[in-house]
Structure 1
Amino acid sequence: MTFEELTQALNEAMDQEDTLAIERLVAEMQPPDLAEFVRHESPEVSLKLLTHLPLEERAEAFGYLELEKQCELALKMTEEGLSQLFVHMNSDERADLFNELPEERQEGILRRMAQDEREDIRRLASYEEGTAGAVMTSDYVTVPAGVTVGRALDIVRQTAPNAETIYQIYILDQAQQLLGTLSLRQLILAKPEAVVDGLMTTDLVSINVHEEQEEASRLISRYDLLALPVVDDQQRLVGIVTYDDAMDVAEEEATEDIHKSASVGPLDEGFGKARITSLYRRRVNWLVLLVFANILSGAGIAFYEETIEAYVVLVFFLPLLVASGGNAGSQASTLMIRGLATGDVGARDWGKLLSRELVVSASLGLTMAATIAGIGFWRGGMDIAQVVAYSMFAIVVVGSLIGMSLPFMLNKLGWDPATASAPLVTSIADIVGVLIYFAIATSILDLG
């Protein structure tokens, strides 16, 4: 059955309180699908559904839930049940959940776990949020340097059941320093008597445990890795970041950038579950600041009051012109922010990008000026046509250059380029557009 069919059948079974049907349908569901169903249910119903699964599968489905939902369910569980669940969860997921639990609950869980697992949770939970250490897992396969392929395969068989991925094997020296990597394919195809040192790849891509998690995501994407080894300051292997965790980081960062580009603060609980007060707080600050910024547009209009009185027809074109500058600036800003975020462009590209944007924006300005010139002639004659055409060209060029330059400037100052959001760029372009428009009008219409 499809997910939709399973969902409908499970809802019907729950309405009829058919325990046997519920158990069968829950067992049929894939862990991500069950998590999708459970996240919309109450904590009591969610826990009852999850208990129909064997402990290992329950932990897998639990791991697909949002952290907020995990914490909500964890607080409803007994310490014994939660500690058993922790044993079967991925090490990075349980560390994240551990950090969200009250201190007394943390102590209760740790008391019921083996010493190695306690130390692993404490170590992973100690890394600062947003670093590679905070998203890495300690469930990986290592073999010591100098062993034969046959011995390495024995080690893989012993440790594989608890590993998150076994496709990449890491070779360590006696000090636990990372010497190289070996794929499972290479290991299987090699002769049993061969030594792993002669087969491993020593040209390593790794990341320090304290570097930002976004860098881990970029490295995995750039080098097309299944997992990225994480090392400490002594080059000792302390964990790996898997590609699925990197995808979660990339999604989180993309969401954050999209929110910033719209001048919205981060929503920890997600838009669907965000409270009205939270949405209000995340949006009000920038909107109020931009109100004061737009007062400058009004001041510019007031400064050219005599020009407007002499040619009221100019007001007709004002919204069109300033909106065009803001739109062009927003386009340039969006392209630049995304380019900086993905590493496609950097500070070294400033000169080339500036000259290219000048050519592109000039072409756009000429096209839009030609489009509006006819309307200007129809509304006010040749002089008005010249004013709106020249203004359109200048406003589009300046707006585009503002949109391209602002993210660069912020990046140079060490700020997030996404702060150069569309509303901010639009507000600046509006102010500049008003001044350009009426300055050109005053000059051409000889009102100075």
Structure 2
Amino acid sequence: MYGRLMLPELQVLLDENDTAGVKEFCEALYPAVTAEILAELDSQNVWRVLSCCEPQKQAEIFQFLPLPQQIEIVGVISRGPLSKMIEEMAPDDRVDLLSRMDDEHVEELLPLMAQAERSDIRKLLSYPEDSAGAIMTTEYASLPENITVAQALERLRQQAPDSEIISYIYVVDEGRRLQGIVSLRELIFARPARPLSEITNRDVISVRVDDDQEFVAQQMARFDFIAIPVVDHQNQLVGIVTHDDAIDIMQEEATEDTYRLAAVEPLEDSYLSTP
């Protein structure tokens, strides 16, 4: 809808090489809306638009494009600008992209990124494709259990800009083992001097890093979570899966179920085949 209505305006700006106008156009719209408009363009022109913006804005828009289109677009971007944009993407989104790119291309990009991002990417890429680890994000808020509410709020202010979700904060011990969860609302209304451990909900539900993605999505739907913590086999907190990724998984599973019912096969083996 938005693509057809607003594409002519964007096309005029591109024809006039109005870089400032294109940047203003992108900044005036919600990233998802801009992505819907860009879906009407070829890869070269999509990058012409994105290159008018700062890397952070590029990433915000790019993440809303369909993954097949993302793959096409990265093929027309030089390594330097591409690495800067990927650095700004959410960890789960950029790993989803990189896991579908050629290994050689990925290895060319990684040295151009900051050490922290490189380490994070390599770690997330190491998890099996259909596991919780492959779709989790490492941008979450966590707090040590042995501090006060006032100290917790101060630490949360520092973490908030780099966290996808701060409505719920995960509480860990010195070994980063998950101890519980506390809501932002509870923190705000608690007495500043009160120990964080006293308001921590210990009855926390988590998933393992190697749990199947479909199980993760089912757990989130069952408990109506906006995010679920992911732990390793030592119960150390390693990430969270957010509701948008859970929705994507459920949609993929629904599509596969539809194919099964229709007896068509985007998969490797036909459901009608016999041994």
Q: Same fold (TM over 0.5)?
A: yes
1:200 aligns with 2:200: yes
Tell me, yes or no, if the aligned pair for 2:149 and 2:194 is still in contact at 8 Å: yes
1:139 aligns with 2:145: no
Task: Give the Cα separation in 2 of the matches to 1:201 and 1:6.
Answer: 48
The answer to whether the 8 A contact 2:142-2:170 is kept is yes
- Relative to structure 1, the CA distance from residue 233 to residue 37 in structure 2 (aligned partners, 3 Å threshold; closer, same or farther) is same
Q: Does 1:10 align with 2:24?
A: no
Kept after mapping to 2: 8 A contact 1:228/1:242 = yes
- Alignment partners' CA distance in 1, 2:18 and 2:155: 46
Residue 229 of structure 1 corresponds to: 229
What are the equivalent positions in structure 2 for 1:247-286 lying under 5 Å apart? 247-266=247-266
Partner of residue 79, structure 1 = 79
Aligned-residue identity in percent:
37
Q: How does 1:111-190 map to 2 (within 5 A)?
A: 111-190=111-190
> Counterpart of 1:23?
23
- For 1:87, the aligned partner's letter is E
Number of aligned pairs? 274
**Contact kept? 1:6, 1:25, Cα under 8 Å:** no
Equivalent residues of 1:144, 1:173 under 8 A apart = yes
Q: Which has the larger radius of gyration?
A: 1
- Asked whether the equivalents of residues 168 and 182 of structure 2 are also in contact (C-alpha less than 8 Å), the reply is yes
Q: Distance in 1 between matches of 2:231 and 2:20?
A: 49
Distance 2:159 2:24 in 1: 32
CA contact (8 A) 2:20 2:52 kept: no
CA contact (8 A) 2:136 2:230 kept: yes
Please report how far the alpha carbon of residue 198 of structure 1 lies from its aligned counterpart in structure 2 after TM superposition.
Answer: 0.5
Paired with 1:81 and 1:249, the residues of 2 have a C-alpha distance of 30
Cα distance between partner residues in 2 of 1:79 and 1:17: 23
TM-score by length of 1: 0.58
Residue in structure 1 matched with residue 101 of structure 2 by the alignment: 101
Q: Is the 8 A contact 1:220 1:227 kept in 2?
A: yes
Q: Secondary structure at the match of 1:188?
A: helix
Q: Which has the higher contact order (CA 8 A, sep 6+)?
A: 2
| Equivalent position of 2:69 in the other structure | 69
Match of 1:34 in 2: 34
Change in Cα spacing, 1:77 to 1:14, as seen in structure 2 (3 Å) is: closer
Instruction: State the alpha-carbon separation in 1 of the partners of residues 9 and 36 from structure 2.
Output: 15
Q: Which stretches in structure 2 are left out of the alignment for 5+ residues?
A: none
RMSD of aligned residue pairs (Cα, Å): 2.3
Q: Deviations over 1:66-107 (max 9, x none)?
A: 222222222222222122112210000111112222223222
1:209-228 per-residue CA deviation (whole Å, 9 max, x = no partner) reads: 11111111111111111110
Secondary structure in 1 matching 2:233: coil
Q: Which structure's residues are more often helix, by fraction?
A: 1
Aligned partner letter, 1:186: E
Superposition pairs for residues 36-55 of structure 1, below 5 Å? 36-55=36-55
Aligned to 1:89: 89
